[in-house]
Structure 1
Amino acid sequence: MTLFFDEFKSWQKELTRYSFEQFTPADVERALSQERLDILDFLALLSPAATPYLEQMAQKAHRITLQNFGKAILLFTPLYLANFCSNQCVYCSYNVKNKIVRRKLSFMEVEVEAKAIAEMGLQHLLLLTGECRKASSPEYIAECAKILRPYFASLGIEVYPLETEEYHKLYEAGIDTLTIYQEVYNEDIYASVHLSGPKRVHRYRLEAPERACEAGFSGVTIGALLGLGEWRKEAFFTGLHASYLQRTYPGTEVAVSAPRMRPHVGSYKPQYPITDTELVQILLAYRLFLPRAGITLSTRESASMRDSLLPLGITKLSAGSLTSVGGYSETTEAGSAQFEVSDERSVEEVVKMLRTKGYQPVFCDWVNVRDRERLKL
């Protein structure tokens, strides 16, 4: 079986033959006329020539989203279990060299936080840790999952890359989905922003979604951290990666996200800042190229920006989010946050916004078969 790494390396060479500037308005119009887009169509929609066509792209993206997803928006929230980290990533507050308040939730605190989050009505929870095996071992994550499982319909993880066997053990413990960002697909930039630690191995991280799919995970979400590399190339490789996963693992739900860098502990500034218009173009190109992929929009974006982006293909929103370790319960002391949240609205406020705009907020869109006995289904 061809791995994504092979396809990735092949397209790295192919891109030397194509310049985004070579695409013309006729190329964009051709892409917009197609029912199914090929790779060159996707490149055209990411090119400068597509900028005058954003309105047409938005209208088509909206129609495609309604056809495949209706007006349902799945809500979730993150729970940070720990913020200890072994890596020196220049763009992250959790950088091992940064002087921040490091915390790890005890199992008792995990349950306290679970109860507080469940009271918001949310049934989809994303578990996060810093990338430190010693502090947040697979065994610790699995035990947390077993504690959390009775409170939530679905559990996802956003942790350091694991082996296939380790992903399977987490699957058996109750984890359903994986979120993992390559951060930056450009290997030279990747090496320059990951100064030390196990995260420096580009390929091992690149192939983590495949290992999770092989382990039985029902869904994976991928993306690039926008601001680290040239956005057109980073968006292209994200879309290429998602397309590969959809083809190779048709039983797995594939989603993409387009997180922009937010203020954090440290002095690193985005080398390639992303404007609002550029973010819109990325999301529209994703939706047109990947009509059946989910698109997640986090609280990194402001409330007004998230409201405006909804019709462009968004299917999943975080709500009531905290990026600190603990803090949902008044009795749990919080550690330092990974980044500053921009949209600070409560779950109730996000629900009200969605309903006002004619969308259906979804707290639970499925029940895992492993819960049938517990729920007496």
Structure 2
Amino acid sequence: MIPLRELKDILYNNDRSFIESLAQKARETTIQYFGRAVSLYAPVYLSNYCDNYCLYCGFQRNKQVKRKKLTIEEMQREMEKVSAPGIQNILLLTGESRSMSPVSYIKEAVQLANQYFANVSIEVYPLEVEEYRELFLAGVDGVTIYQETYNREHYKKLHGKGKKADYDYRFSTPERIARAGIRVINMGVLLGLFDVVEDIYQLFLHLEQMERNYPGVEYALSFPRVIPINDSLDYVEVSDVMLIKLICVARILFPRVGINLSTREKAHIRDHALELGVTKISAASKTTVGGYSLEDESIKHPQFEVMDERPVDKIVEMLHERGFDPVFTDWRRIPNEAIAV
């Protein structure tokens, strides 16, 4: 891993020729390891109940929003809608509430999703090894977990109450996921909560540690930028150029790691980033509970606003125009089997 000072020099260097050379290296590395393939996925929000008090989140416990938890029948309608245009990679999300979204509920959703999709990932509250293994055996292929920020003091300020206030428990989550036998771990920070370079440096160290200790796992990175909802917080601005440089550096340092970019970002940013390291993008995303099929607008409070609203066919058209191969699935489903830990 490069030293922090060197990473700062790279990310704060705004010389045009330097940025172009960085982008060229990232482009060459991406083609070498991934070719022109870009995977497509979609999120499905199952519940927005949350027991945490994250100061920056639209789902926080004390925020005055209408709460909703999908029934099995509603989940089925959502999955039918999402799978109709060909999407085969699904990310199931809940707010972080064990009481309202217990493991048994998540397991039911996973088992249902396996009837519609070739690849099923989850983004839920951190679990124990045994719980991750239970979900793995039910059909979970991947887990997304964000540390949010790696600065302990700022983390404590942002997460004053709730289970999420335990920094160390959240930090050790990727290890528990790996020990459970889950194949794919997507890691990240929420850019803009703290100094960007320091957070990215610690994320890279965390990923490097995971690769060293659990080399059989497939890793991915995400770089979501915080969307301010609380004027009392001091956010760090993350420019478009900084985001692009982060993606380039991540691709060069971790050539085999997948890089995801969601519809938090505008269409032109996502299109440009594809050339520089991004290998997986969401399409036609809804970030509300029941957003694909429910008519009740009163429950449609998003976790974040979708900035790229293009439907799946338009995303596919864009990829073809840019010379990419859209991949709906590169995953042949086989039953997940228990492993010795």
TM-score (norm 1): 0.85
Q: In the alignment, which residue of structure 1 is the partner of 2:339? A: none
AA at the equivalent of 2:242:
E
Aligned equivalents of 1:225, 1:61: Cα separation in 2: 22
Other structure's SS at 1:350 match:
helix
Q: In the alignment, which residue of structure 2 is the partner of 1:232? A: 197
Does 2:308 correspond to 1:308? no
Pairs within 5 Å for 1:315-326 = 315-326=279-290
Q: Which has the higher helix share?
A: 1
CA drift of 1:309 comes to 1.3
Count of aligned pairs: 332
Q: In the alignment, which residue of structure 1 is the partner of 2:2? A: 39
CA contact (8 A) 2:56 2:228 kept: no
Q: In the alignment, which residue of structure 2 is the partner of 1:278? A: 242
CA contact (8 A) 1:116 1:329 kept: yes
Pairs within 5 Å for 1:185-334 = 185-264=150-229, 266-267=230-231, 269=233, 271-330=235-294, 334=299
Residues 111 and 224 of structure 1, relative CA distance in 2, 3 Å threshold: same
1:188-241 residue CA offsets vs partner (Å, 9 max, x unmatched): 110111121110000101111110111011100111100101000011111111
Does 2:297 correspond to 1:361? no
AA at the equivalent of 1:324:
T
AA at the equivalent of 1:311:
E
Aligned equivalents of 2:300, 2:139: Cα separation in 1: 26
Aligned equivalents of 1:107, 1:330: Cα separation in 2: 13
Pairs within 5 Å for 1:131-146 = 131-146=96-111
CA contact (8 A) 1:103 1:335 kept: no
Aligned equivalents of 1:244, 1:368: Cα separation in 2: 29
Structure 1, unmatched stretches of 5+, are: 1-37, 372-377
1:35-70 residue CA offsets vs partner (Å, 9 max, x unmatched): xxx323x75244256432211111011001001000
1:146-166 residue CA offsets vs partner (Å, 9 max, x unmatched): 111110001101111000000
CA contact (8 A) 1:217 1:252 kept: yes
Task: Pick 1 or 2: higher relative contact order, CA cutoff 8 A, min separation 6.
Answer: 2
CA contact (8 A) 2:219 2:258 kept: yes
Residues 75 and 43 of structure 1, relative CA distance in 2, 3 Å threshold: farther
Does 2:312 correspond to 1:347? yes
CA contact (8 A) 2:260 2:279 kept: yes
Aligned equivalents of 1:226, 1:330: Cα separation in 2: 31
AA at the equivalent of 1:232:
V
Other structure's SS at 2:106 match:
helix
Residues 226 and 268 of structure 1, relative CA distance in 2, 3 Å threshold: farther
AA at the equivalent of 2:14:
T
Residues 351 and 253 of structure 1, relative CA distance in 2, 3 Å threshold: same
CA contact (8 A) 1:113 1:332 kept: no
CA contact (8 A) 1:81 1:105 kept: yes
Aligned equivalents of 1:211, 1:260: Cα separation in 2: 26
TM-score (norm 2): 0.94
1:291-350 residue CA offsets vs partner (Å, 9 max, x unmatched): 111110111110011111111100000111011001212567754211111111111111
CA contact (8 A) 2:228 2:235 kept: no
Q: In the alignment, which residue of structure 1 is the partner of 2:76? A: 111
Q: In the alignment, which residue of structure 2 is the partner of 1:60? A: 25
AA at the equivalent of 2:104:
E
AA at the equivalent of 1:44:
E
CA contact (8 A) 1:146 1:174 kept: yes
CA contact (8 A) 1:118 1:151 kept: yes
Aligned equivalents of 1:240, 1:367: Cα separation in 2: 32
AA at the equivalent of 1:300:
R
CA contact (8 A) 2:182 2:217 kept: yes
Tell me which stretches of 4 or more aligned residues in structure 1 moved more than 2 Å.
45-52, 266-270, 330-335
CA drift of 1:263 comes to 4.8
Kindly name which structure, 1 or 2, has the bigger radius of gyration based on alpha carbons: 1
1:274-295 residue CA offsets vs partner (Å, 9 max, x unmatched): 1111111211111111111111
Aligned-pair RMSD on alpha carbons? Answer: 1.6
Residues 150 and 55 of structure 1, relative CA distance in 2, 3 Å threshold: same
AA at the equivalent of 2:2:
I
Residue identity over aligned pairs, in percent, reads: 42
Q: In the alignment, which residue of structure 2 is the partner of 1:22? A: none
Other structure's SS at 2:148 match:
coil
Aligned equivalents of 1:245, 1:120: Cα separation in 2: 35
Aligned equivalents of 2:6, 2:30: Cα separation in 1: 20
Deviates more, 1:239-248 or 1:282-291: 239-248
